[in-house]
């Protein structure tokens, strides 16, 4: 049977196509809560402290949370509200937007890459291109009727935050503020609204299996009521429980490459639970297709010790989507 949406469908047991072999299961009982996730206050007046905290977090964790980040609470609440409304629409209505073609700029899909994967994941997701807004917003869902306005406002605010963070990350690497932004060019922006329905057998499957993000920077809004995000730290999976009004920021593969491997594109995964559906909204800042991903010479001893060969983002992205998620780090394929 072809895999289709799972949100709004009743399941009494997990269909066999979602069951992982025993050795690949999430082993939820072994996962510890991360007590010291870096939470960085972007409202702090001491900019050098912010930059130091960001540098430490990027190096030691590959992710951090931010508060006082400039995105309004109203925008955060509304995007979650409208996403819940969207996934609550009747399945027949949602199916009109369904596609498993990753090249589409607006699509509702399920799992990760249904054409490539052998075991499916307990997730539906709406994936939208968001920049430039005038080009893409008209193709977004028209139901709920407030969707486009709410999502446009949210995307604009999150983009600003992303640029501020990229400046701070540049500085934390000892580079001029605009250095990373200049390399990344006119950045694209994508959004994934992830909906993980309550799952009859959460020990047997994932919402999203372990992966790193192929883009530059990810800004994740987590469901405050339901946890599910886990990251790999020192070889162990740890749970990143939601922090009120915070975003989780992930370093993506492109920043790992541009930092010459100093900063980590963190392995992360989403697990599901038996009782409650979970929602997350991930915003991805992506280098422009033609940008040349090449670590600045300040970080490579004048170019002699580049960990990765130069590549364009278009080349990388194609490679990423041609694979299954739970394979080796895609950047490994670009090592010198
Ligand atoms: O739902 C989450 O917490 C993680 C989402 C994620 O990793 C993604 O969308 O790439």
pLDDT tens for the chain, 336 residues long, are 454 899 999 999 999 999 999 999 999 999 998 888 899 999 999 999 999 999 999 999 999 999 999 999 999 999 999 999 999 999 999 999 999 998 899 999 999 988 888 999 999 999 999 999 999 999 999 999 999 999 999 999 999 999 999 999 999 999 999 999 999 999 999 999 999 999 999 999 999 999 999 999 999 999 999 999 999 999 999 999 999 999 999 999 999 999 999 999 999 999 999 999 999 999 999 999 999 999 999 999 876 689 999 999 999 998 888 877 667 889 999 999
Best residue for ligand 1 mutational test, from 220, 251, 266 (most atoms within 8 Å of Cβ): 220
Q: Specify the residue with its C-alpha closest to ligand 1, atom 3.
A: 229
Q: Specify the residue with its C-alpha closest to ligand 1, atom 1.
A: 280
In 3D space, the residue among 277, 264, 273, 274 whose CA is nearest the CA of residue 307 turns out to be: 264
Cβ within 8 Å of residue 211, ≥6 positions away: 267, 268, 269, 325, 326
Would you call 9 exposed, middle or buried from its count of C-beta atoms within 10 A (0-12, 13-18, 19+)?
exposed
Question: Looking at ligand 1, which atom is closest to the CA of residue 207?
Answer: 1
Question: Looking at ligand 1, which atom is closest to the CA of residue 282?
Answer: 9
Query: How much distance in Å is there from the Cα of 134 to the middle of ligand 1?
Result: 26
The pLDDT value given to residue 1? 42
CB 205 within 8 A of CB 117: no
- Quickly tell me which residue has 């278009």 as its tokens: 314
Question: Looking at ligand 1, which atom is closest to the CA of residue 125?
Answer: 9
CB 122 within 8 A of CB 272: yes
The pLDDT value given to residue 289? 93
Query: How much distance in Å is there from the Cα of 205 to the middle of ligand 1?
Result: 15
Question: Which residues form ligand 1's pocket by a CB distance below 6 Å?
Answer: 192, 194, 208, 213, 220, 222, 228-229, 268, 270, 280, 282
Q: Please name every residue paired with 124 in a beta bridge, in sequence order, or none if there are none.
A: 110, 195
Query: How much distance in Å is there from the Cα of 156 to the middle of ligand 1?
Result: 20
The pLDDT value given to residue 275? 95
Q: Could you tell me the domains of the chain?
A: 31-334 (2.60.120.330)
CB 173 within 8 A of CB 55: yes
Query: How much distance in Å is there from the Cα of 270 to the middle of ligand 1?
Result: 6
């Amino acid at each position: 049977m072809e895999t289709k949406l799972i949100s709004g469908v009743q399941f009494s047991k997990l269909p066999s196509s979602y069951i992982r072999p025993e050795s690949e299961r999430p082993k939820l009982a072994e996962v510890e809560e991360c007590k010291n996730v870096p939470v960085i206050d972007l409202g702090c007046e001491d900019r050098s402290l912010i930059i130091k905290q960001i540098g430490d977090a990027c190096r030691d964790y590959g992710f951090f949370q931010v508060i006082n980040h400039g995105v309004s609470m109203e925008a955060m609440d509304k995007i979650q509200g409208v996403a819940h409304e969207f996934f609550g629409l009747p399945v027949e209505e949602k199916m009109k937007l369904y596609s498993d073609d990753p090249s589409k700029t607006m699509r509702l899909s399920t799992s990760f890459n249904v054409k490539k994967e052998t075991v499916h994941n307990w997730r539906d997701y709406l994936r939208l291109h968001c920049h430039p807004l005038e080009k893409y917003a008209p193709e977004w869902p028209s139901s709920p009727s407030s969707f486009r306005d709410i999502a446009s406002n949210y995307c604009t605010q999150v983009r600003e935050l992303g640029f501020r963070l990229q400046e701070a990350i540049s500085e934390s690497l000892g580079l001029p503020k605009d250095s990373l932004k200049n390399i990344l060019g006119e950045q694209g922006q994508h959004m994934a609204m992830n909906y993980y329905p309550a799952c009859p057998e959460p020990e047997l499957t994932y919402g999203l299996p372990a992966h790193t993000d192929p883009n530059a920077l990810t800004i994740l809004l987590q469901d405050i009521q339901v946890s599910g995000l886990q990251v790999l730290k020192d070889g162990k999976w740890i749970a990143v429980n939601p922090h009120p009004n915070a975003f989780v920021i992930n370093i993506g593969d492109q920043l790992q490459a541009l930092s010459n491997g100093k900063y980590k594109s963190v392995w992360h995964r989403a697990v599901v639970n038996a009782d409650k559906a979970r929602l997350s909204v991930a915003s991805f800042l992506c280098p422009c297709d033609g940008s040349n991903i090449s670590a600045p010479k300040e970080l490579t001893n004048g170019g002699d010790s580049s960990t990765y060969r130069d590549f364009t983002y278009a080349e990388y992205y194609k490679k990423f989507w041609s694979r299954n998620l739970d394979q080796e780090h895609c950047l490994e394929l670009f090592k010198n």
